[in-house]
Structure 1
Amino acid sequence: MTSGLWQAGLRDWYGPGTSIVQRVRGYRPNRRGEIKLVRWLRVGILRGLSCGAVGFALYVQLDAVGLARDRAVVDAMMLATASFLWRGSLIRVVLRPGEIVCSGMWRHAVVPCSEVKRLHRDTWRGHLALETHGGENIDFALFDGSFWDLYYDFSGVCGDAMRAHARAESEAGSVPGPGPGPGPAGLRRYFNWSVVADPLAVGAVFCGGMALYLTVRG
């Protein structure tokens, strides 16, 4: 996968400043042979806003002004917002050896390359979608489109990367083609756990419960 993806022509799809953009965009495979397609600007903005919401919640909690119930309500809202924003930063696509993994806000889908029928933009919204041989579709609406599309077609680059990855894996013979017989499992979906967003959500529920308790008691 590491060499096949580059041999498929991906090295020519980076626009101006090819070597620099390749390094900054992170398209080179990591030690596990994975290539992560991430909207880094979006990730930075969302995580910055999430940290700001957490900081504001801490400030409100440490401030002695106002009723404890009101502070708990504000903290619950801020922590819930921070959790939601952090989950928004988790949206990405990972090209693993033999698989395409689409990580969304709540779930991630694992698609074996042998199950990829086509990547197209035939949806009514015009967003990139992946169709499997089983007729299932994965919509990349939340992943598609970025600031870098104003400079060069970054969303097109990501779509080409996924096509090249599936094609390179099939040509290398590392995954069997579609049809009956033994082979990798089909499309799989899992809940997208987060070591940051989930504790924030738990904190929001706790603060909401405290606000309700103080309201009933008072």
Structure 2
Amino acid sequence: MGSGLWDTGLSDWYGPATPMVRTFRGYRPNRRGAVRLVRWARVLPLRFLACVMAAIAVGTALDEDTSLPVGDRLMMAALLLALASLTWRFSLVKVVLRPGRIVRFGAYRHTVVPVTAVNRLHRESFRGGLRLETADGEEIGFRWFDGSLWDLLYDFSEVCADAMRAQVRSAVREPGGASDGRVERRFTWSAGAGLFAAGAVASLLAGFVALVRG
């Protein structure tokens, strides 16, 4: 996969073979040898929305011209910051192909699947959700990566599926570097979501104190 997915011999159609599409489809590994498959058309709007909600929350908390008491303003700010944290978390959804591993990132946790544990990748129906089946019979869904309008021009859903298949094939050709075959699930830390969540907790506590004193 060092040469990019466009050069792996995959023959499926992903949209018009323009230079821009070739660039997007290339997905060359970064310095750590990982390939990140991200739906930026979803990620960027979600993060922008989260930042807008955080800005509104700060403006609400600091607005002294309004008739609302300080405690109410801080409570409203806490709610907006909590929503901003949740929105930011949903922007973390992605697939990362690491050497010997396929990692599916969700809103709150990520699932690490060693390629040695992959049995097959399939769809439940004609355009149903993409699913990965392990050798132990466990199924891991990738529905967040299906069903985009962008697929009409550039089939990112199939790019994800073929990229994971290529990852498994490369591990068969070049064994070693994979873990012991156990699927692992871990909490996903996020600086952006954590910052908004901390602000929500601080604003909630400050609002509660202001309401008690008021």
TM-score (norm 2): 0.88
Cα distance, 1:19 vs structure 2: 3.2
Which is worse superposed, 23-32 or 193-202? 23-32
Match of 2:172 among 165, 170, 175: 170
Amino acid corresponding to residue 98 of structure 1 in structure 2: G
- The change in CA–CA distance for 1:14 and 1:122 in structure 2 (over 3 A counts) is closer
Amino acid corresponding to residue 62 of structure 1 in structure 2: L
Alignment of 1:55 with 2:51, yes or no, is: no
Deviations 1:154-194 (A, max 9, x none): 21121111112111221233468xxxxxx624111110000
Alignment of 1:190 with 2:186, yes or no, is: yes
The runs of at least 4 consecutive aligned structure 1 residues that moved more than 6 Å come to none
Question: Counterparts of 1:46 and 1:133 in 2: how far apart (Å)?
Answer: 35
- The change in CA–CA distance for 1:4 and 1:73 in structure 2 (over 3 A counts) is closer
Cα distance, 1:15 vs structure 2: 2.2
- The change in CA–CA distance for 1:21 and 1:7 in structure 2 (over 3 A counts) is closer
Matches within 5 A, 1:25-104: 27-64=27-64, 65=66, 66-104=68-106
Equivalent residue pairs, number? 212
Alignment of 1:205 with 2:201, yes or no, is: yes
Deviations 1:75-128 (A, max 9, x none): 1111011111111111000111111011111001111111011111227x9211
- The change in CA–CA distance for 1:11 and 1:198 in structure 2 (over 3 A counts) is farther
Matches within 5 A, 1:104-119: 104-119=106-121
Deviations 1:10-51 (A, max 9, x none): 486542134322324561222222111100111110011011
The 3-state SS of whatever aligns with 1:152 is coil
The 3-state SS of whatever aligns with 1:2 is coil
Aligned to 1:180: none
Deviations 1:181-210 (A, max 9, x none): xx6241111100001101211211221222
- Structure 2 segments unaligned to the other structure (5+ residues): none
The 3-state SS of whatever aligns with 1:9 is coil
Q: Percent identity?
A: 51
Question: Counterparts of 2:46 and 2:210 in 1: how far apart (Å)?
Answer: 32
Question: Counterparts of 2:6 and 2:172 in 1: how far apart (Å)?
Answer: 15
Question: Counterparts of 1:204 and 1:10 in 2: how far apart (Å)?
Answer: 47
Aligned to 2:128: 126
Amino acid corresponding to residue 166 of structure 1 in structure 2: V
- The change in CA–CA distance for 1:213 and 1:55 in structure 2 (over 3 A counts) is same
Cα distance, 1:212 vs structure 2: 2.4
**1:112–1:187: 8 Å Cα contact kept in structure 2?**
yes
> Superposition RMSD on alpha carbons, in Å?
2.4
- The change in CA–CA distance for 1:68 and 1:11 in structure 2 (over 3 A counts) is farther
Amino acid corresponding to residue 59 of structure 2 in structure 1: Y
Amino acid corresponding to residue 188 of structure 2 in structure 1: N
Amino acid corresponding to residue 204 of structure 1 in structure 2: A
TM-score (norm 1): 0.87
Aligned to 1:136: 138
